[in-house]
Each structure stands twice: as C-alpha cells, then as structure tokens.
Amino acid sequence: QVQLVESGGGSVQPGGSLSLSCVVSGSDTSRRCIGWFRQAPGKEREGVANIYRPNAVTEYVDSVKGRFIISQDNAKNTVYLQMNSLKAEDTAMYYCAAGPWCPVMTSTLAVRIFDTWGQGTQVTVSS
C-alpha cells in the first residue's frame, strides 16, 4: 500500500512561484506513476502533470507547459511540482496521486487510473 502526503501550498501574487511536495511512503512498488491534479471550486478535478517514476518521463497539460515542472528525488521518496508564473486561474486544491501507469493527463479517464490520493494542499493566486 502507498500513502501520499502533500505540502507546500499557500497564497501568492500573480507571477509568483510555489513548490509543492508529495512524499510517497509504503512498500507497494507497483504504483509507478505519480500525478498532480487540481480542483477549483465548482469545477471537476483536472490533471496537471505526471511522472513515470522508473525513468522520470514526464507529461504536462497545455495550460501549465513552460510554467510548471514535475520532478522527483528518489532518495527522499518525494515528487515535486514547481509552479512558476502563477496565474489566478491556477487557484485550486492540488492533489498528488499514485497509479500503476501514466495516462494522458487531458483524458477524462485519467482520474480513474490513479487509485491512491493525498489529502490535498490549497494554492491561491491573488493580488
């Protein structure tokens, strides 16, 4: 079984940066994909980025390409989401999730691939 704990959320002005962390613990090595999702009030949860842990291949949705970076530190069992040039529309609760493989994050089915979720961390971008 895998457990996920996010941290690093907060409030920032437009154009600012935040770094989210997702600590992965547990002995289940079959959950090879870590994804970041977000959900704004009144909206569906949407994929942001994922990383396939065995080879660190990453994928981003178009709305965050060039601004967000997903990475991992295997020694710390941690996956990061560096968020730069933040916009008001990035405001949401951010979740990390683990799954057996990495789906296309723009797919409406992506959420179903991930079967283990963290508790979420709030990101607010406002002037």
Average pLDDT over residues 104-116: 90
pLDDT in tens, 2-27: 999 999 999 999 999 999 999 999 87
Does position 125 have pLDDT exceeding 80, yes or no?
A: yes
**pLDDT value for 13:** 98
Within 8 A by CB and 6+ apart from 26, the residues are 1, 2, 3
- At 34-92, the pLDDT tens digits run 999 999 999 999 999 999 999 999 999 999 999 999 999 999 999 999 999 999 999 99
Using CA atoms, how far residue 23 sits from 44, 47, 81, 102, in Å, is 24, 19, 12, 18
Amino acid, res. 106: T
81-104 average pLDDT score: 96
Question: What dihedral angle (degrees, nearest 10) is formed by the CA atoms of 30, 95, 49, 72?
Answer: -60
